[in-house]
Amino acid sequence: MIRSDAVLILTIALLAVAMPAGALGTAAPAEPTSELSATVVSVTDGDTVNVQYENGTNDTIRMLGVDTPEVHIENDPTKFEGVPDTEAGKQCLDAAGENASAYMKNELQAGEQITLELDEESDGRGDYGRLLAYIHDDGQNLNYELIDIGHARVYDSQFSQSERFYAAESDAQAAERGLWHCRDPSSANGLSITEIHADAEGDDRDNLNDEYIVFKNTGTAQIDLSGWTVSDAASHTYTFPNGASLAADESVTLHTGSGEDTQTERYWGSSSAIWNNGGDTVTVTDDTGTLVTSKSY
């Protein structure tokens, strides 16, 4: 329901929020609109994206209705229902915040075209003058996806899609997806990416086994890795074979080249380098396709 401020004020407001913060007097869409086209400049974290409009002005988007764990400041577990206000809870949320940030950086590349959808039931701009909007990319509402995957909680505010978002949050909580495994961090699968060695000594192509990723089980129970996948931003994929597992507090190294698999050493079997020396994203999904963890470098 539109607020009592009414249609005229809403129309003016939609035109105003379409303009970047501090850009009053610069060119903006000629007609009020609930959708804006923009180009991704950079991703700050899991719920904040910097964009440029067609007229060349820049803006910062605070994704509407979602709140991902922090990556630049200390997390407060009391903001996330059921997460214990303990050091373990904070550390779990820290990792979840990194995962959410990596997910968004993987989804939104610099230079990519996206659509911003405004919501007439929300405030036009939030803290620090950031535009509140849904981000649509390749037909997906990324705000909703963050909630559904478990990378974010619903931010308690007024917006038209809140009922749908809260339903997705309940499903994610029930399945302990993403950050919601932090409700009991000691029983979480605990798989962490502890080292990314992308730049092998010498020519990467001639030393593939010195290009590797190290995974550690920081939880308290053994992880069955059967069917789990590891992939890069270009969708090169390695699948752990049936029977692969990782005991609590143990590590496994995944080398790019070839060799004999053991409990602690695994080999991709690739004939070429996988991990870009200049930066890439390591993504791990389980045997159902659910994101377990990811890390960008």
Q: Which of 62, 125, 153, 266 is catalytic?
A: 62
224: DSSP letter: E
Name the token pair of 177: 């997806």
Closest CA to 107 of 145, 69, 70, 134: 145
What separation in angstroms does the CA of 215 have from each of 96, 172, 223, 240?
Answer: 16, 25, 12, 12
Is 130 designated active site?
A: yes
User: CA-to-CA distance for 247 and 270, rounded, in angstroms?
Assistant: 26
Identified catalytic residue from 98, 125, 130, 266: 130
Contact status, residue 134 vs residue 141, Cβ threshold 8 Å: yes
Is 153 catalytic? The answer is no
Q: Is 164 a catalytic residue?
A: no
Between strands 237-239 and 153-154, the pairing is unpaired
Q: How many CA atoms lie within 13 A of 73 on its CB side?
A: 3
DSSP state of 96: H
Containing 155, the helix (H) or strand (E) segment is: none
The contacts of residue 122 (CB under 8 Å, 6+ apart) are 64, 65, 132, 157, 158, 159, 160
229 closest CA partner among 217, 221, 218, 237: 237
Q: What are phi and psi of 175, to 5 degrees?
A: -90, -5
Catalytically active residues are 62, 70, 130
